[in-house]
Amino acid sequence: MKRIYFLVPNIKIAKKVVHDLLLARVEERHIHVLAKAGTPLENLPEATFLQKSDFIPALEQGLALGGLTGIVAGVVAVALPTGLVLGGGAVLAISLAGAGVGA
């Protein structure tokens, strides 16, 4: 995903940037304006919570790291001679649990 950020000093210039992007055939659904709390954006396309935060990338990273940690813990649990008979299902269950916790 590629993003281009513009820092502008006021709403007038932000409107000009949005207008120029629309003239350059950038769809309005791909333009998001973020401003200081309390700043009236008028008719500019405001960014949503997910676009304002790092939520989705953090979720993906947590899911990947939690799943990897779960796989390692599952393999260790299967390899240790504890007297319990654990199979591949245990590795899968532990990796899914790790992914859930990481997410």
Domain that holds residue 87: 55-102
DSSP class of residue 103 equals -
Are 97 and 59 in the same domain?
yes
CA distances from 64 to 5, 26, 35, 51, 57 (A): 27, 32, 32, 21, 11
Same domain, 26 and 38: yes
Do 46 and 59 have their domain in common?
Answer: no
Which residues, in sequence order, are bridge partners of residue 33?
Answer: 46
User: pLDDT tens-digit profile of 12-67?
Assistant: 999 999 999 999 999 988 899 988 888 888 889 888 888 888 888 888 888 888 88
Q: What is the DSSP string of 6-54?
A: ---SSHHHHHHHHHHHHHTT--GGG--B---TT---TTS-B--HHHHSS
For residue 74, count CB atoms less than 10 angstroms from its CB and return exposed for 0-12, middle for 13-18, buried for 19 or more: buried
Q: Does the residue 3 lie in any domain?
A: no
Whether residue 70 lies inside any domain: the answer is yes
For residue 85, the model assigns a pLDDT of 62
Q: Sorting pLDDT into bands at 50, 70 and 90, what band is 86? A: low
Task: State pLDDT tens for residues 67-78.
Answer: 888 888 877 777
How many domains does the structure of the chain reveal? 2
Does residue 21 sit in the same domain as residue 38? yes
83: three-class secondary structure by DSSP = coil
Same domain, 66 and 47: no
